[in-house]
Structure 1
Amino acid sequence: MDPCEEKQPPDHTVLPTGSPNPVEKPTQGQKVDSGDEWDTDLETDNITYQEQSLSGEDQYLQACQKTGCVPVSFFLCHLGEADLNLNHYGVGPMGAKALAVVLQNNQTITNLELEDNALQAEGTSYLMEMLQTNISIQSLRNYILKELDLSHNKICDRGGQHLGHMLATNIGIEVLNLSWNHLCTGSAVALSAGLKVNSTLKQLQLSRNGFGRIEAESLGQALKQNSTLMLLDLSRNLIDNEAAALLCKGLATNDGLRVLKLSHNPLTNIGALSLLQTVTKNTNSAVEEMDISTVFVGETFVELLENARQRRPVLAVRHNVMRSVTRNISALRVFQKFLKGRNESIVDFFQALDKEGTMKVPTAAFRKAVKEANAPLDQRQLEWLIKKFDENCKFTIIYSQLAELS
């Protein structure tokens, strides 16, 4: 039977009669000893003029010989068609490379299906590299792929847009690493659009891509609808306070994300506080880990985090804090411990100063009493404590409101 008349199963894939350099038939995609070395990229810079003039069929056969894989006869017979279904052919990583070499400049195929082909991350990376130059393929499906690492591949917006489409149509991928590429606005919009409808992706790594406010806004919109993504890595980008606020619009309602990485971004305490407030206000938030370890946070952040941990003990936030902030925040605990040693509460201390029973004590009187009692507080700690007790800066402490601190 002519192999071009009917689709052959993988174990019956054969070369057309008269094909040059026939090879023995190992498992599809399996390497054989061809005697040639094959670099890890598609060698687009090294294709000779003679190779460029070869037909698509001959280019494919030559690529198969160089990679040491068995040609898929069905591909040879249907190379000129718009829809190409190579599902279940056991193409493998090297077979994918051979396909990618031919498809770089192919202008006919618009839909390519590669389900159940054991492409692995290596084979898929060749296809993604091919998509950066191919201008005809609109749909690429591989339902079996679970994890794809395309970091350090110089993927630009065009490749990112293809990946976004892949996210929208792929029903199996769980881990996607796109760190250290050149993805920008167009890629972010496409990836976010794919993320909105994708229901399997669990980890998305986007560090070192120059993402800023526009990209953060797109991802924030995606997080409003996506509930399956568990890890989002945006470290080493250009996420500033405004970008963080845009990302928070998605975090405010998201109930799936558990890990958020934002270290090495131009964030300040303001952005960090916005993120923490959003996560703690969202009662359905699943965030357990947040990495903002390069941000020096303030006292308000540390206090909010301590309160949040009382309600959600699993919440872990990596942050940086200056020693002065830590010392100030410890002032209340130091004062409480000091009073406990005297068998007093905070309210007892104030009542002793409130001779007229007004439930109010001037801040100046409190400052003087603390110093006279030789409480182990330095001047900065004392002023921080006064500010905490007199939040409205009225120079008067209404100590009845402090009963819960006793």
Structure 2
Amino acid sequence: MMDQCEEDSGVLQSVLPTGGTDQAEDKGQPTQSQMGDGGNEWDTDLETDNATNRIQSRAERYLKACRKIGVTPISSFLHNLNEANLNLNHYSVGPLGAKALAIALQNDNVITHLELEDNALRAEGTRYLTEMLQTNINIQSLNLSNNQLYLEGADVIYKMLLDNCYVKSIKLSGNGFDDSAAKYFAEALKDDCVVTELDLSHNNFCESGGEHLGDMLAKNLGIEVLNLSWNSLCMRGVAALSAGLKLNSTLKQLQLSWNRLGHIEAELLGQVLKQNNKLKLLDLSSNLITDRAVTLLCQGLATNSSLRVLKLSHNPLTNNGALTLLKTVINNTNSAVEELDISTVFVNEAFMELLEETRQRRPPLDVQYSYMSYTARNVSALRIFNKFLNERNESVMDFFQALDKDRTMKVSTSDFRKAVKEANVPLNQGQLECLIRKFDKDCTATIIYSDFES
């Protein structure tokens, strides 16, 4: 029988360009040593390669580490040896699988982005990876989301962040972190200027967690993107975040969707927008933002000159709130808003007409909204009708006066319908009926045009 070194060589050859059968299992089920605490029999410190190991390929180092630790190699790792982005999300790596990866990557100079989401790493596996980062200076982005880290894992991340000089993006979503864990992150990042992107969404931060993170924002010197969606920050937490944001000079994107934020929190964030001119994106989707809350938020939006994207979909907003937002953006001559997401708000004709006027003056403005089909046809019909009249150097008033021989300031809808068809206005039947409904809102079969602008 071949010895173990020959067996490792066979697996290595199977993933090199010369071809062969791939013996490494892809997305295989974790072995017993991967799933449990079997890693206790191994030293917690990573082994240091000797001179011979350093000149071996990454694949060789990885296969030998897997053999020694007793885990199944992941073929995706072996098949992407030259890729800067190593994506091993959802591969059941486990704590000991993480140890094998850490040994292989200690001195790697190719990978810059390491994706390990949903791999049941727990604190043990994360510790192996953070030890690896003490010698690997090339990895700049690390995704450890959904890995059952909890408070023990937060402590591991805290210790890594204290010595971090290279990792700029850290994703830690869905790891069961609570307010106690927030204290770890706040302490590690309060004077940090290396990390620029931090994802702490889908965790269990409440009010005191928000206070810790707010204190961090007041002192942090580097974070540009902060995701705190799917937590439970509520009033005290948002108040602390707001206080920190007023002093923060680097944050550009803040995501706060799914935090049960209402009018009090909206008012606090409105005050932030009055003072903070660095924030470019604010995501408040899926909260409890009502028309009243939007009015309070707009107190800050009315003078803000930096915010470009505002997301408010899946909130209990109505057309009134949508109009308030749009008017605020229009009236603020220094407004930088380019995208307004109110995609779940059903707007009426007044909103769409105002939006149409706004787009003439501010073409870059992208507003996402919902509407009833008849509303869209109505506004479209009116636009077509006005364009037709403009091309003939006529006004709406001129058109109706030509039909009103007795100068009663009234025209029957039947006469109007007939005149539109005879003039060959490019409207289909549905658009024509919508236009009539626009002019005859009370369905009296009579259009009173005395108040129309000439």
State the TM-score, normalizing by the size of structure 2. 0.60
SS in 2 for 1:227: coil
Alignment-derived partner of residue 232 in structure 1:
282
Cα distance in 1 for partners of 2:372, 2:154 equals: 56
SS in 2 for 1:320: strand
Query: How many percent of aligned residue pairs carry the same amino acid?
Result: 48
In structure 1, which of residues 182, 191, 196 is the aligned counterpart of residue 241 of structure 2? Answer: 191
Judged with a 3 Å threshold, the aligned counterparts in structure 2 of structure 1 residues 257 and 139 are, in CA distance, closer, same or farther, namely same
2:307, 2:336 within 8 Å by CA — same for their partners in 1? yes
SS in 1 for 2:214: helix
Q: CA deviation at 1:374?
A: 4.8
In structure 2, which of residues 396, 402, 405 is the aligned counterpart of residue 352 of structure 1? Answer: 402
Structure with the bigger RCO (C-alpha within 8 Å, sep 6+) is 1
Moved more, 375-384 or 302-311: 375-384
What is the Cα-based RMSD across aligned positions, in Å?
4.4
In structure 2, which of residues 262, 265, 268 is the aligned counterpart of residue 212 of structure 1? Answer: 262
Alignment-derived partner of residue 194 in structure 2:
144
Alignment-derived partner of residue 349 in structure 2:
299
In structure 2, which of residues 428, 435, 447 is the aligned counterpart of residue 381 of structure 1? Answer: 435
Amino acid at match of 2:411: A
1:331, 1:384 within 8 Å by CA — same for their partners in 2? no
Cα distance in 2 for partners of 1:193, 1:300 equals: 37
Deviations 1:362-394 (A, max 9, x none): 453364641442546645521413569xxxx99
Cα distance in 1 for partners of 2:393, 2:183 equals: 79
Judged with a 3 Å threshold, the aligned counterparts in structure 2 of structure 1 residues 284 and 340 are, in CA distance, closer, same or farther, namely closer
SS in 2 for 1:199: coil
1:116, 1:143 within 8 Å by CA — same for their partners in 2? no
Gaps of 5+ in 2: 1-42, 50-61, 70-94, 99-119, 422-426
2:207 counterpart of 1:157: yes
SS in 2 for 1:260: strand
In structure 1, which of residues 341, 348, 370 is the aligned counterpart of residue 416 of structure 2? Answer: 370
2:185 counterpart of 1:132: no
Alignment-derived partner of residue 85 in structure 1:
none
Q: CA deviation at 1:323?
A: 1.0
State the TM-score, normalizing by the size of structure 1. 0.66
Judged with a 3 Å threshold, the aligned counterparts in structure 2 of structure 1 residues 217 and 339 are, in CA distance, closer, same or farther, namely closer
Judged with a 3 Å threshold, the aligned counterparts in structure 2 of structure 1 residues 93 and 287 are, in CA distance, closer, same or farther, namely closer
Listed as ranges, the matches of 1:72-111 within 5 Å are 101=152
Q: CA deviation at 1:226?
A: 0.6
SS in 1 for 2:342: strand
Moved more, 226-235 or 32-41: 32-41
2:176, 2:203 within 8 Å by CA — same for their partners in 1? no
Gaps of 5+ in 1: 1-19, 27-31, 44-62, 73-87, 105-111
Deviations 1:110-150 (A, max 9, x none): xx993754455549889994862587998542221111011
Judged with a 3 Å threshold, the aligned counterparts in structure 2 of structure 1 residues 341 and 264 are, in CA distance, closer, same or farther, namely same
Q: CA deviation at 1:348?
A: 3.5
Amino acid at match of 2:416: V
Q: CA deviation at 1:346?
A: 3.3
Cα distance in 2 for partners of 1:262, 1:114 equals: 36
Judged with a 3 Å threshold, the aligned counterparts in structure 2 of structure 1 residues 228 and 128 are, in CA distance, closer, same or farther, namely farther
